[in-house]
Amino acid sequence: MDEAVLRGVVPQVIAILVRRGADFAAAEDAVQDALLEALRSWPDDPPRDPKGWLVTVAWRRFLDVVRSETARQRREVAVDLEPEQGPTETADDTLRIFFLCAHPALTPASAVALTLRAVAGLTTKQVAEAYLVPEATMAQRISRAKRTVAGESFDTPGDLATVRRVLYLVFNEGYTGDVDLAAEAIRLTRELARLRPDDPETDGLLALMLLHHARRPARLRDDGTLVPLAEQDRSRWDTALIIEGVAVLQAALAKQRRGEYQLQAAIAALHADAPSAAETDWVQVVQWYDELLALTGSPIVRLNRAVAVGEADGPRAGLAALAEVDPGLPRHRAAAAYFHERSGDLATAARLYAEAADLATNLPERTHLTKEAARLNSSLGR
pLDDT in tens, 236-246: 999 999 999 99
pLDDT value of residue 184: 85
Contact (CB, 8 A) for 31 and 59:
no
**In this predicted model, what pLDDT tens digit does every residue of 316-326 receive, in sequence order?**
999 999 999 99
pLDDT value of residue 177: 52
Contact (CB, 8 A) for 117 and 124:
yes
Residue 35 and residue 57: Cα distance in Å, rounded? 9
Other beta carbons less than 10 A from residue 40's beta carbon: 9
Contacts of residue 201, Cβ cutoff 8 Å, sequence gap at least 6: 161, 164, 252, 257, 259, 260, 261, 262
Query: In the chain, which ranges are continuous DSSP H helix?
Result: 3-8, 10-20, 24-41, 50-67, 69-75, 94-101, 108-118, 124-131, 135-149, 160-173, 181-195, 200-214, 239-253, 260-273, 282-296, 299-313, 315-322, 332-342, 346-359, 363-379
| CA distances, 369 to each of 282, 316, 329, 331 (Å) | 24, 21, 16, 10
User: Which amino acid is located at 73 in the chain?
Assistant: Q
| Per-residue model confidence as pLDDT tens for the chain (382 residues) | 567 777 788 888 998 988 888 888 888 899 989 988 888 888 888 888 889 999 999 999 998 888 774 545 554 444 444 444 444 444 456 788 888 888 888 888 888 888 888 888 888 888 888 777 899 999 999 999 988 887 776 556 568 888 998 899 888 876 555 667 888 889 889 989 998 899 999 999 999 999 999 999 999 888 878 899 999 999 999 999 999 999 999 999 999 999 999 999 999 999 999 999 989 999 999 999 999 999 999 999 999 999 999 999 999 999 999 999 999 998 999 999 999 999 999 999 999 999 999 998 788 889 999 999 999 999 998 8
At 227 the three-state DSSP class reads coil
**In this predicted model, what pLDDT tens digit does every residue of 150-199 receive, in sequence order?**
777 655 656 888 899 889 988 887 655 566 788 888 988 998 999 889 99
Residue 88 and residue 53: Cα distance in Å, rounded? 9
If you count them, how many residues does the chain have?
Answer: 382
Contacts of residue 119, Cβ cutoff 8 Å, sequence gap at least 6: 10, 11, 94, 97, 98, 101, 188
Residue 364 and residue 138: Cα distance in Å, rounded? 25
Contact (CB, 8 A) for 346 and 338:
no
Contact (CB, 8 A) for 322 and 339:
yes
